[in-house]
Amino acid sequence: MSEVRVAVLSGFGINCETETMAVFEMAGATAVRVHINRLVNGEMSLDDYHIMAVPGGFSFGDHLGSGRLMGNRLRFGLRDQVRRFVQSGKLVIGICNGFQVLVKMGLLPGDEEVSLTQTASLALNDSGHYENRWATLEFDPNSPCIWTKGITRMRVPVRHGEGKFVTNDRELLDRWSESGQLAVRYVDPTTEYPSSSDEVLPYPISPNQSWRNIAGVCDPTGLVFGLMPHPEANHSTWLGATWTRDVDQGEHGEGEGMAIFRNAVNYAEENLL
Amino acid sequence: MGTDTPVFSFEVTTRDLAGLPDARGDSVKSMLASNYNLNVQSVRVILGYQVRAKLSTEESERTVYDLFADPVMEQGSVNTRLLDDSTIFPVPPQIVIQAGFKPGVTDNAGQAGLDGLLTLFPHLTPDSAVATTRTYAFWGLPDNTSADWLAGKLHNPMIERASISDQVDCEKSVWPSLDFPHQPALDQTAPAIVDLEISDNELIEISETGLLALNLNEMKAIQSHYRDPLVRKAREQLGLPPNAPTDAELECLAQTWSEHCSHKIFAAKIHHKDTETGEASTIDSLFKTHIMKPTLDIQNEVDWLLSIFHDNSGVIAWNKDWSLCMKAETHNSPSALDPFGGAMTGIVGVNRDILGTGLGARPIANTDVFCFGPPNYSEKIPEGLFHPSRVMRGVHAGVRAGGNESGIPTVNGAIIFDDRYLGKPLVYCGTVGIMPRRLPDGRESHDKTPTPGDVVYMVGGRVGSDGIHGATFSSLELTEESPSSAVQIGDPITQKKMIDMILEARDEGLIQVITDNGAGGLSSSVGEMAELTGGADLDLAVVPLKQAGLSPWEILVSESQERMTVGVRPDDCAAFEALAALHEVEATVVGTFTDSGAFVVRMGENVVAHLPIEFLHEGCPQLDLESEWTPPEHEPISFPNTDALGMGELLTMMMARPNVASKEWWVRSYDHEVIAQSVIKPFCGVNHDAPGDAAVIAPIQGQTQGAVISNGIVPRYSDIDAYAMAAASIDEALRNAVCVGVDLDLIAGLDNFCWPDPVESAKTPDGRYKLAQLVRANRALDDVCRAYNLPCISGKDSMKNDATLHGEKISIPPTILFSLIGNHSDVRKAVSSDFKSVGDRVYLCGESHQELGASELSYMLREQIDGVSGIGGRVPEIDAERNLAMYRALTAAMGEGLIASAHDCSDGGLAAAVAECCFGADAGANIDVSKIMGDCTEINSWGALFGESLGRIIVSVEPQHCAAFEAAMNGHACYSLGDVEVGDQISISNGDEAILIASMSSLRAAWKGALEGGGPQ
C-alpha cells in the first residue's frame, strides 16, 4: 500500500463513496471517507490528502439542479481549502453527481486562476428522465488530463438524469476543445478508434444528447477531471454489461474503469509524495 | 414566525439556447400524447420558489442566480413573472396551470431550497420557509381543450392545489398565482376520556367513526380491561381516569392491534371445510402452522438462520464475516390515493426496516413488484380512482425517486397487469441489507441489546399530521371517504443522512436497540421495543413537530416518515448527539426504556396513557373464522384453427401482452448499478435489452462471492386454485435463481400475501371462499418450502385489498409475491438468459404437460380472439422433489462451465421464452418439440408452445459441451430441441410439421413497443 491518500467526500446524499473508496484502494492508495462537515468544522483537512474525489449520488436530492446545493456548500463553505488544494497541484475527480458539483461550483472546466466561476452546466437529458445504461467512451489522446493518459476507449454505465453538457458561450467550447479539456466523449462502439466527433450522436449512443458528445472534461492543468459516466462501477470484469458473452472463464480480473484510478495514483506516487 | 414576514416569489425556466430544449416541458407533452392521446404543439415549464424569509432586496436579487436559477442555462426572476417577459415568451400561451403542494404536505424541493438559502445567508432564522410550484404553459392545444381537464391531469387534488388561467385570462395576461401554503397551528385538544360503558352498537360506532378498525370482540376486550378492579386501582393511583381509556390509549391499542400490525387473520382460529374431499378441520393460526413451523424445522437442520420472525427483517449468515437480511412490504392503499407519494414511502419505508434490523443493517438492493390495472384499459374508471396508466407512472416515479436518491440499486422486479388491480394497485417494495456478523465491540449485530435505563431517541424527520391512521386505514377497504392524512411523501435525503449517521453510530457501538417508525409511529416503535425491557416511558411534549398544535394522541400515532427510534446507553448519549449534529440529523431524547411492566406516555408532567405491556401485546382476542372450499368452475379454452404463420402471429400478440412485454423503458430509469456490485443485471444480451432472470450482486467490492435475488408472482392461477398460485410463485422465484446459478444449500424466502378481505360479512358474502383460498395457499407454502428446503425468514400480509366505490366492489385476485435471497459461490460462473452464439444447442430442462388453465394464453384468447373462450383446464401442478433434483443437476453443470445460457420458462410458455433468449443474441432459432410431445400423451401443440408447466428452464450449450451436459442431466427430463440460428426467423416444428413460424423483428417490435412509456428520444 502506497502513501497516496485519497479523501472521498461523503454526506448529504452522496452515495457512491463505498465503491469510489474501493477503486482507489484497488489502485494501491489509502482511501478515507470524509464527511464534508468534518472539513468545514476543522476536524479533518484536505491538506492531508493528495487526491480528492467527489463521488456520485443525489446530493440534496438533485433539487434546484443536480450538484447545485453541494457545489454551493463547497464554493461558500470550503472555498479556501478547495482552492489551496487545486493550486498546490493535487488531483481532483468528480464522478456523475460529483462532476455536476465541480461544474456548478466553477472548478470545471475551470480557469488558471481557479476563480470558481461557473461557465458550463449539465442540463436535463433530452429524454427528460433519469436513465441507467451502458455507453462507450473515447478519450482525447492530446488532452493534458492526468486521469485519462493512455486510455483509448472504455465501456461504462451512465446513471443520470442531468448529463447534457452545455454552455452559453459557444466560443468557450472551441477553446476547451483546442486545449484538450474535452477529455472524454461518447462514441459509436461499432466505429474504429479514433472517431469521436462534434456532431451529436443519436440516442442512445449519446444517452443525454450532450453538446459535442461531451461525457467529461478536465481543467487547464489536467489535474482536475470530471465525467458523467461511472468508471468506478466497472472495476472488475464481472460487472460489465455483456461479460457473460465476451469474457472467458480464466480471463477474469480488473475491469476497464480501473485505468483512470491507476493513472491518478501513479501520478500522485511520482509527483506528490 | 409572524405572517408579516415577506414572501418572495422566484421563477426559473430554461434559457433559449440552440440545442437546449425545455426537456421538462417536452416530457409533459409526451406524457399527454402517450396517456391521453392529446397532441400539443409546445409546453414550457416554469419552476417557482416561494420564499418566506427576511431577505433584503439586494439579497433576494443575488439569490436568483446564486441559488435558484442556473446562470448558464436558465433564466430567473424575483417578484416578476417570467410569462410577462416577451423576450422569453413572445407569443402568449393559450392555457397556463400552476400547481403546488397543499399546506403541510412534504415539499422536498422546498426543503432543499431552504437549506441552500441558509448556506447563502446563515443569519436567517431557521423557521424561514420555501415552497415550490410548477407552472405549465401550453401553446397549440387542440380546440376545446378544457383548462380544468388539463389541470386534473397535472396535479393530484388530494395533496396539491392548482391555479388556472384559461384562454380568456391568458389573453389578458392574467397568470395563475398560488398563495404561500401557510400552515396555521392546530388547536391542541386536551386528552379526552372515552367512555366505553355503552351498548355494543355504540362501541362499533366509536371504532368506525374513529377509524380504529377494531371489531366488537376487540372493543369488548378493551372494555373489560377497564373493568378489571386491579387496573382501576392502579390507574387511580396514577391520576388517570380509572374506568375508561384516554384517547391516546385507545389509539395506541388500535394501532397495535390493527390487522396491519398484528396480522389477526393469520393468527385466527379457522374452521376449514372442503366440499370436494369432505375435510372438516380446525387450524390454530395459519402463521404458526404453515409458515413458522416449517421454518423452525429447517432451522434445526442448518446453522445459517440467525434471526427469524421477531425483528424487522430476517437475517441469514452469508459467510463468516457478513450476514444478509431481506424484507418486502406493501404500500397499496397510499399508492391508490397518491401513487407517487404512496410508492415512495413504500420503498423508503422498507429501507428503514433493514436499517432497523438487529443493530442496524445497510440497505444494498431494492426489488419492486407492482400489480396494476391494464395500461390500455378503455372502460369507464369508477370515480375516485385514477386510470391505471397514471397510477403506473406515479408509482414508478415514486419508487424511482425513493430508490435512486437513497443510493440503493433496484436490482430486480416485475409488473403484473389484471383488471382487478384497478381498485387497489399492489406496490411491493423489497430491500436486501448487509451487516458485519460482529461489531468492533464484539457484539453480534443481529441481536438487539437493550437494558432498562437506555435512553430513547427519535432520530430523523419531525412529526406532522401526515400519516395519522395509516395502519388502521390500510386495515380497511378503500372508499371515497378515505382520508388524505393517510398519504405522505417520503424525503429520501433526510433519510439518507440518517442512514449514514446510524451506520456510523452502529460501528462506534453507540446503539443498543433500534427500530423504524412506520405503521403506528411512536406508539408502535416504542411500544414494541418496550416489550424487550419490560416497559418504557415516553414524553410527547419534547417530540419535535413540523405541525404545531398536534394533540397527544396524534403525536403518538402519526406515521410521519424518515424516523428511527434508537435506544442508547446514557454514557453514549453525548457521542451519539455529536454524530447526529455532524450529519445534520435531528436526534431528540423522548424517553427511557424501563422494566416497570407498562408503556407510560406523558405530555410533560401529565400521564396520557398507561398500558400494561402484556395487555398491549397479548390482549387482542383471537379471531374465529370459517372457510369453505369448493373448486370454481370455468369454461374450457376454445382454440382457434390456425396454421404455423397464424401461430406466429399469436406469438407476436403474446409478446405484446403487458404481462410479457419488455418493461425496459420503466426499468432503465431505476439505478440498478450503484454500489458497483451488479453482476447479473435486469438487462443482458448483445443489445443490453434482453430480460435478466434473477439478480446477482457481489456486494463486497473485489470479492467474487455473490448474492442472488429473485421474485415469483402468478396471481392468475388463483382463479382456479390458490394452492397452485402459491406453489407456482415459489417455484418461479427458485427457478429464476437456478437460472443464474444459485447455491441451493443457502436459500431463504419471503412470503408476502395480498388478499381481498377473507372475513365473511354483509360486505363480503364470499368471505368463506376467499379464506379457503388463503388456507390452500398457506398449505402450498408449507409443502413446497419444506420440499425445497427454503425457509421463510420474513413475510407480510395485506388483507383488505378491496375497493368499494359507488356500490361497486372490486377485489384483487389473491396474490403472493414470493421473494428469494440466496448465496452465489462464485459470481464469475453466473449464467445469463441470452443465447450466446449461433450453432449453440437449445435444450428444455423439466417436464411439459397440457397445463393451460389460467395461463397467459387462456386470458389472451378470452380477451382477443372470440370472447367466449374460457380460462379452464389444468392449472400447472408442482412436483417439488422432481424439480429440485433437476435444479441440482443443472446447477452442478453450471459450476462445470457447461451452460452458455439459462432462462426461466413461465408466462407465455416455451414459445415466449425462446423468443426472449433469441432477442439477447440477435439471432433466430430452429426448434423441434416432438420429443416433448412424445413424452406426454395428452399434450397438443398449444400446450407444448404456450403451456406453463412449472420446473422448466431453457438452456443453451456450446456444441463441444453437449455430450458432457447430457451426461450431467442424465436421469432428469432434458430435451434437445434445436439450435440457435442465423437470421430473423424463429421456427418451431413437431417433427416434420411446422407449427409456428415468426419473424424475430416483428416479435421484437411487439415486445419492445407495448409498454414504451413515451418521451422525446
In the block, cell 401442478 appears at B877
Give the per-residue SS3 of B11-31: EEEECCECCECCHHHHHHHHH
Asked if residue B631 has a cis previous peptide bond (ω within 30° of 0), the answer is no
CB distance B827–A15 less than 8 Å?
A: no
Residue A233 has pLDDT above 60, yes or no: yes
Strand partners, A224: A92
Q: Which helix (H) or strand (E) holds B151?
A: helix B147-154
**What pLDDT, on a 0 to 100 scale, did the predictor assign at position A181?**
98
Residue B481 has pLDDT above 60, yes or no: no
Q: Is B134 on the interface with A (CB under 8 A)?
A: no
Does ipTM surpass 0.95 in this model?
A: yes
Q: Write out the E strands in B373-489.
A: 410-417, 426-436, 455-460
Which chain A residues are within 8 Å of B680, Cβ to Cβ? 244
The DSSP line for B828-854 is GG---SS--STT-EEEEES------TT
Q: Which helix (H) or strand (E) holds B225?
A: helix B216-225
CB distance B704–A238 less than 8 Å?
A: yes
Q: Which of A224, A104, A83 is nearest to A167 (CA)?
A: A104
Grid coordinates belonging to B258: 390493527
CB A184 within 8 A of CB A152: no
Catalytic, A96? Answer: yes
A-contacting residues in B 288-307 (Cβ below 8 Å)? none
Strand partners, B271: B282, B626
Which chain B residues are within 8 Å of A230, Cβ to Cβ? 673, 676
Q: What is the pLDDT of residues B850-895, one digit of tens each?
A: 999 999 999 999 987 666 899 999 999 999 999 999 999 999 999 9
Instruction: State the Cα–Cα distance between residues B753 and B283, nearest whole angstrom.
Output: 18
A213: left (phi over 0), alpha (psi -120 to 50) or beta: left
Strands A184-186 and A131-139: antiparallel
B947 compared with B183, residue with greater pLDDT: B947
Catalytic, A251? Answer: no
Q: Average per-residue pLDDT in chain B?
A: 93
Instruction: State the Cα–Cα distance between residues B838 and B983, nearest whole angstrom.
Output: 9
Least confident piece of the model among A28-42, B378-392, B914-928: B378-392
A-B CB pairs within 8 A amount to 214
The DSSP line for B765-800 is TTHHHHHHHHHHHHHHHHHHHHHHT--EEEEEEE--
Residue B95 has pLDDT above 90, yes or no: yes
Residue B480 has pLDDT above 60, yes or no: no
Grid coordinates belonging to B80: 416578476
Q: What is the pLDDT of residues B737-755, one digit of tens each?
A: 999 999 999 999 999 999 9
The distance in angstroms from the start CA to the end CA of chain B is: 47
- Nearest-CA distance B114 → chain A (Å): 10
Nearest CA in chain A to B14: A123
Which chain B residues are within 8 Å of A134, Cβ to Cβ? 688
**What pLDDT, on a 0 to 100 scale, did the predictor assign at position A71?**
95
Residue B1016 has pLDDT above 50, yes or no: no
- Nearest-CA distance A164 → chain B (Å): 9
- Nearest-CA distance A113 → chain B (Å): 20
**What pLDDT, on a 0 to 100 scale, did the predictor assign at position B648?**
97
CB distance A128–B26 less than 8 Å?
A: yes
**What pLDDT, on a 0 to 100 scale, did the predictor assign at position B470?**
61
Catalytic hit among A16, A17, A50, A96: A96
Q: Is B831 on the interface with A (CB under 8 A)?
A: yes
Contacts of B730 (CB under 8 A, 6+ apart): B712, B749, B780, B781, B784, B785, B788, B790, B818
Comparing CB atoms, the residue among A13, A65, A77 nearest residue B119 is A77
Q: How many DSSP H helices and E strands does chain B contain?
A: 33, 39
- Nearest-CA distance A218 → chain B (Å): 18
B337 pLDDT band (50/70/90 cuts)? confident
**What pLDDT, on a 0 to 100 scale, did the predictor assign at position B1017?**
32
Instruction: State the Cα–Cα distance between residues B548 and B167, nearest whole angstrom.
Output: 41
Q: Which of B386, B372, B375, B377 is nearest to B416 (CA)?
A: B372
Residue B1015 has pLDDT above 60, yes or no: no
Catalytic, A3? Answer: no
Instruction: State the Cα–Cα distance between residues A61 and B800, nearest whole angstrom.
Output: 34
Grid coordinates belonging to A99: 462532476
B766-769 long-range contacts, CB within 8 A, separation 24+? B767/B626, B768/B626, B768/B627, B768/B628, B769/B627, B769/B628, B769/B629, B769/B630
Comparing CB atoms, the residue among B17, B497, B688 nearest residue A133 is B688
- Nearest-CA distance A24 → chain B (Å): 11
Q: At what angle do helices B388-406 and B23-36 cross, to 10 degrees?
A: 140
Nearest CA in chain B to A15: B407
B483 pLDDT band (50/70/90 cuts)? low
Q: Is B2 on the interface with A (CB under 8 A)?
A: no
Query: Which strand ranges, in their side-by-side order, compose the sheet holding B280-284?
Result: B280-284, B269-274, B624-629
CB distance B673–A76 less than 8 Å?
A: no
Give which of A25, A34, A60 to mutate to test B binding, by max B Cβ within 10 Å. Answer: A60
Q: What percent of chain B has pLDDT over 70?
A: 97
Q: Is B836 on the interface with A (CB under 8 A)?
A: yes
**For residue A156, how many other CB atoms are within 10 A of its CB?**
27
Instruction: State the Cα–Cα distance between residues A255 and B828, nearest whole angstrom.
Output: 13
Q: What is the pLDDT of residues B806-849, one digit of tens each?
A: 778 899 999 999 999 999 999 999 999 999 999 999 999 999 99
In the block, cell 416578476 appears at B80
Q: What is the pLDDT of residues B977-993, one digit of tens each?
A: 999 999 999 999 999 99
Comparing CB atoms, the residue among A121, A125, A230 nearest residue B73 is A121
The DSSP line for B897-943 is T--SEEEE--TTHHHHHHHHHHHTTT-EEEEE-HHHHHT-TT--HHH
CB distance A69–B15 less than 8 Å?
A: no
**Phi, psi angles (nearest 5°) of residue B763:** -75, -25
Q: What is the pLDDT of residues B341-351, one digit of tens each?
A: 889 999 999 99
Q: What is the pLDDT of residues B353-379, one digit of tens each?
A: 999 999 999 999 999 999 999 988 888
**What pLDDT, on a 0 to 100 scale, did the predictor assign at position B3?**
57
Q: What is the pLDDT of residues B190-220, one digit of tens each?
A: 888 999 999 999 999 998 888 788 889 999 9
A-contacting residues in B 635-674 (Cβ below 8 Å)? 668-674
Q: What is the pLDDT of residues B25-57, one digit of tens each?
A: 999 999 899 888 999 999 999 999 999 999 999
Q: Is B116 on the interface with A (CB under 8 A)?
A: yes
Q: What is the pLDDT of residues A49-108, one digit of tens each?
A: 999 999 999 999 999 999 999 999 999 989 999 999 999 999 999 999 999 999 999 999
A-contacting residues in B 693-732 (Cβ below 8 Å)? 698, 701-702, 704
B187: left (phi over 0), alpha (psi -120 to 50) or beta: beta
- Nearest-CA distance B554 → chain A (Å): 29
**What pLDDT, on a 0 to 100 scale, did the predictor assign at position B745?**
97
Contacts of B934 (CB under 8 A, 6+ apart): none
Nearest CA in chain B to A39: B582
Instruction: State the Cα–Cα distance between residues B289 and A129, nearest whole angstrom.
Output: 47
Strands A5-10 and A30-35: parallel
Comparing CB atoms, the residue among B66, B72, B685 nearest residue A166 is B72
Which chain A residues are within 8 Å of B66, Cβ to Cβ? 72
Q: Averaged over B615-636, what is the pLDDT?
A: 94
CB neighbour burial string for B1001-1013, b if at least 16 within 10 angstroms, e if fewer: eebbebbbebbeb
CB B769 within 8 A of CB B629: yes
Q: Averaged over A37-48, what is the pLDDT?
A: 95
Instruction: State the Cα–Cα distance between residues B804 and B809, nearest whole angstrom.
Output: 4
Q: Is B274 on the interface with A (CB under 8 A)?
A: no
Instruction: State the Cα–Cα distance between residues A49 and A272, nearest whole angstrom.
Output: 10
Q: pTM surpassing 0.80? A: yes
CB B423 within 8 A of CB B385: yes
Q: At what angle do helices B1000-1009 and B644-655 cross, to 10 degrees?
A: 30
